[in-house]
Chain A
């Protein structure tokens, strides 16, 4: 039996973990125990089930066991195909999410989706420029429709180039073109992976991994980026907001509606409806003092970023949330929804409501959510929750006390604004302070949580170590939730946890040393920020020149592999912890961890210790600083006379 302290470093989770054990409720933590020992071949990436001649296993020790599958594929081919299929699944998940958002956007632009409107016109116009849509004196709706159509066409495009990659630095674009890995269409590259990894197609691990890069780029700079951009246009670009995180945000006397999953298309509408007088009156008629919304997983991040609504918890807390007994309705759409939820929900009065056609979960109440009935569905959901509250009222609940304040809402546009205001917005202060050494570098720490390691332990330890060493941390997804709960996303944490240089910059701007940039599709915001830093100048001319590194210390989903791979393909050193899916394939792993850098400027790494991993990230950052000539040398103070000013470039 796993100990509560081994299960999680988060005390709220520990308490509920214990409560679940006491009540005999099974959660992921127990199921993980029951799975032990997990399949060694699978863990090492050496099990192939791609055809019915298998399953085939390769001897990981290279001794007496088989070194090839029935078809003759070796460890490197098998693991590379498997790795590619993870990318395909991850990219498909993000991109299908993106496609859904664009469809709603298009319906909204055509006036066919009640309740949705264009909130950020400025951003729409920017996107119109990206897609070469004429602006002129046209009506904003017409522009929106054309943008929507052109954006949607990115998925099915067969030839040419996915447009948004043009937001990358020019040097990066050239690398992609020269390598022939600029994605043609978002879907096409995913399909091509499925084809190439079929029995008897692509055998060369390097060739396979480069196609993986092509599909992953179609995710990060394609499907995900379009998803983020369109979500901002529809629901508003995030701005800094104060909120709370952890299960303590549940309220005993209010109707607790927890929204879990990924697509803000649903959650936005629930947010809109829950605040209406009609719903509040209904809740009161059921004896509740109000309606309390909270989020789990990336939906939490979406409603946090745009509305400051509380985060109830991360991926591994989805079942623990139900264990409080205080959740009246949990609404789920797609991605990272544990089928185990139904079992837990049965122990309580919780209404488990699934809303997605693409994701049916047996045992849930189905309220299908589509753009033409969004408002009605949202109301029905909230009413169900109120009804459930009536049943729950008066019963004992186990809401933990833990809830931590945080400041979130850092879109890349917001950072630009915060560093200079309306009139001087720019990344200059960030670049300047990287150059002068107050900030050592930038790390993106993202990803999921997994019972393979103590819940939240790696996230928190790694991020604390990074900021102590003056590395500013950008976060998304469940990693962000972990650090929010720890209080690292409060501005005051700069003085407490960050190194002197970083703390000084944070204090100047009034930001935390750890910036919450949104959900997992919003990793595209980190790409945009990196491109903006390059463009601002003084730190090289490609993302691979920047003193930056990425990490997903508690990753578990295939989306994480896709994200990691598009970061590597964008020139970023990216470290994963907890487990690594190609460990049994030596040549492939060596290519991913070393050889790939020559082609892409970025590379993978695996270090199963968060501090050690952070140190390697810092070492990489220092290497890049050294290459830029800013490792030791502080920025010189140049005193200018008239002659020097005359030399200044015009304009």
Chain B
């Protein structure tokens, strides 16, 4: 009976818009029309309004404009009898609801700036996180792009009890979904508080995001979805149809409601349906089964709690393979960000407290037995709570297709694969690895052999095509660990030398990366040995391995062809490929230039470089820096300029690693052009950078580069550069 839903939703929308009017009038009185309005640290203003209407809300007066649009959109209430058609009007009411809620939340940020906890996780005092800023969007967006997160579940209300809340959140986490929680139930309870009470770690790292207590916080989920379309889909603000269809086709989100569905919830549900997000309710509310606006059903109700998540995935048309690994712990990417706090630790290995090392090495086929897992030395049963052990993890692989170059790729997986287990925490890699095992994991029956089981199951699942057999040995006796540390360090050294020596000239094949095309359909990355993917996640070797594993997958070999220009980094084969892959949009591509046909960007770049004309150089900023930059824009605004497959001379997205590549902006003079970057980025890449700078003959270059402590405008940093005799100032004019 969608009439009931439409009637209630339209009623709810009227109330929410009315509330927004009231808030607006008060705010106008109190702060005046010129007072700035913004969600924290975002280039997308109030994102639903900006995306759908193309209107940037910058000051309180602008809210008046939005509310006028809401009034125009709001249909009359649905009559009991002889009613006029309501589906279209009800969907409009849903949109008006989102617009109004963004206004309400924006005003809250002015009225009560400390209401929401900034950052990724709740604090002791503040549970609610509010709008995700662009740092979170970019970071988490990558997971949506590479498939580690297929979508999100927006949860409204509270489960009937804490146990149910816990179970459902785990089921959603197991399916790799984000969980966006908002709105209290009619008796004032919230799902977020239930999880907190159950001692579940909530926040962005575990994908359980407490948006807000009020129903209006639901709009943060819509805002996230809208920004995904804008930043990764490259859709222009105001192109509402494309934004909504993008979400319908590509963002697998849905809403789960618990308990009594209020008129305001219905109004939000109608808003969600605009995005193609269906609603699954645990109460016997009316259903809307005919398809059309969503891919399948629109509202499905009265679903028992144990079936809700499964049903939601089915209704949304989502296929998720749940990672099944033969260990007694719940397992999935959602647990990657889960911490094991000091008080919860049963066993600790590495992390400076004991020796620990992990490595992957190839052996001959007859020297190993697939699936064999050995623990040499004390295991969980042999120790007591709070003990520490040294640890060496040796993963042995063999197979016809196995190459030494694939070892580091497999090895790098250990970190997140171990971390995916609930109750285990893994930090670092190689010989600085650090593992914590929680008490609850031990209670569930965890033993060290389970680490081996995880690695065997998952590496086989993901990389099974490049090796045939794999076994894992875990050593926990000091003398064994010492020995393996020596072996591992030898391997690391060989490997580093091999990779660092590899140049673009050495190879005939580059690789494309279209992993992001599910989200940024017009973008294509070209990955070369000296230029990693701009997300920082995919090196040339990774792409090559990925192509081995899945020859028709997102990483395709590109024949370089004839070299056109060695300084710009142009090759005939690459140009042909880019022309085809960009569907004729891009004819040429320079791998090493920021000004001349620079590469397009999907939106998941680690850093963005921009020309600083006055300083005759280039600045770069990474996504963790949310202050102003000498380009006159924050990272978020820059990202809006270059993301979504756009080509913007003067701007280019890149990885952190690329900065210390010999090919970094070679066409413009390379490293010596770099005049500004955030201080923390300097520190992060210092070691590699200084090595490269020494090669260039300016070992102290990094300290001649300005950062935010020097200034955030070109005028401010110029005297510093002069004083330090920065090489860029005496180079040929950049433009």
Contact = CB atoms under 8 A, between A and B. Distances in A.
A459 interface: no
A419 interface: yes
Interface stretch (A248-256, A421-429, A460-468): A421-429
A429 B293 contact: yes
Given A241-B84, A423-B91, A509-B85, A646 B290 contact: no
A640 B252 contact: yes
Interface in A229-246: 240-242
Interface string B278-293: 0000000000111111
B52 A651 contact: no
A421 B518 contact: no
A436 B291 contact: yes
Nearest to A512: B85
Nearest to B249: A648
B82 A422 contact: no
A418 interface: yes
Contacts of B244: 423-424
B91 A420 contact: yes
A637 B150 CA distance: 18
A510 B84 contact: yes
Kindly name the residue among A504, A508, A510, A644 whose own CB sees the greatest number of chain B CB atoms within 10 A: A508
Nearest to A635: B291
A161 interface: no
A433 B292 contact: yes
Given A421-B88, A510-B78, A642 B150 contact: yes
Contacts of B88: 417-422, 425, 509
Nearest to B270: A421
Interface string B284-307: 000011111100101000000000
A499 to B, nearest CB: 13
B250 A648 contact: yes
Interface string A617-651: 00000000000000000010111111111101111
Contact of A423 (B3, B6, B240, B314): B240
Size category of the binding interface on chain A: 35 or more
B314 A639 contact: yes
B317 A638 contact: yes
Nearest to A645: B518
Interface stretch (B178-186, B318-326, B380-388, B674-682): B318-326
A547 to B, nearest CB: 17
A144 interface: no
A428 B295 CA distance: 10
Contact of A438 (B90, B290, B314): B290
Nearest to B296: A637
A505 interface: yes
A226 interface: no
A491 interface: yes
Contact of A648 (B84, B85, B518): B518
A638 B295 CA distance: 10
B252 A422 contact: no
Kindly name the residue among A509, A641, A644 whose own CB sees the greatest number of chain B CB atoms within 10 A: A509
A429 B517 contact: no
Contacts of A511: 85
B86 interface: yes
Interface in B67-125: 73, 78, 81-92, 94-95
Given A422-B73, A639-B314, A510 B290 contact: no
Interface string A44-58: 000000000000000
A120 interface: no
Kindly name the residue among B86, B94, B517 whose own CB sees the greatest number of chain A CB atoms within 10 A: B86
B521 A651 contact: yes
Contacts of B515: 646
A390 interface: no
A508 B85 CA distance: 9
A422 to B, nearest CB: 5
B528 interface: no
A199 to B, nearest CB: 54
Nearest to B245: A424
A418 B88 CA distance: 4
A642 B250 CA distance: 9
B288 A508 contact: yes
B147 interface: yes
A424 B293 contact: yes
A361 interface: no
B522 interface: yes
A423 B289 CA distance: 21
B250 A424 contact: no
A373 B650 CA distance: 65
A265 interface: no
Nearest to B78: A510
B318 to A, nearest CB: 6
Contacts of B86: 509-510
B518 A646 contact: yes
B250 A645 contact: yes
B292 A432 contact: yes
A29 B474 CA distance: 101
Nearest to A501: B290
B82 A490 contact: yes
B2 interface: yes
B293 A428 contact: yes
A421 B319 contact: no
A492 interface: yes
B583 interface: yes
Nearest to B53: A423
A615 to B, nearest CB: 25
A480 interface: no
B92 A422 contact: yes
Nearest to B7: A510
Contacts of A241: 84
B291 A421 contact: no
Nearest to A515: B85
Contacts of A421: 87-92, 94-95, 274
A235 B82 CA distance: 25
A491 B515 CA distance: 48
A146 interface: no
Contacts of B147: 641-642
B99 to A, nearest CB: 11
B333 to A, nearest CB: 12
A405 interface: yes
A648 B317 CA distance: 14
Interface in A390-447: 405, 407, 417-425, 428-433, 436, 438
Contact of B85 (A423, A491, A639): A491
Contact of A508 (B87, B94, B242, B554): B87
A398 to B, nearest CB: 27
A510 B2 contact: yes
A431 B298 CA distance: 16
A490 B150 CA distance: 43
A507 interface: yes
Nearest to B89: A421
Contacts of B85: 240, 407, 418, 491, 509-511
A240 B84 contact: yes
Contacts of A639: 313-314, 317-319
B1 A491 contact: no
A568 to B, nearest CB: 30
Contact of B3 (A490, A510, A638, A650): A510
B444 interface: no
B241 interface: yes
Contacts of B296: 637
9 residue pairs, one from A and one from B, having the closest CB atoms:
A429-B292, A650-B521, A421-B91, A642-B147, A639-B319, A510-B86, A510-B85, A418-B88, A509-B87
18 contacts: A420-B293, A421-B91, A421-B94, A422-B95, A424-B244, A429-B293, A432-B290, A432-B292, A433-B292, A491-B85, A492-B82, A505-B290, A507-B3, A509-B2, A509-B87, A640-B318, A642-B147, A650-B517
Given A423-B240, A510-B83, A650-B521, 13 more contacts: A240-B85, A422-B92, A432-B291, A436-B291, A508-B298, A509-B85, A510-B3, A510-B85, A510-B86, A635-B291, A639-B317, A648-B518, A648-B521
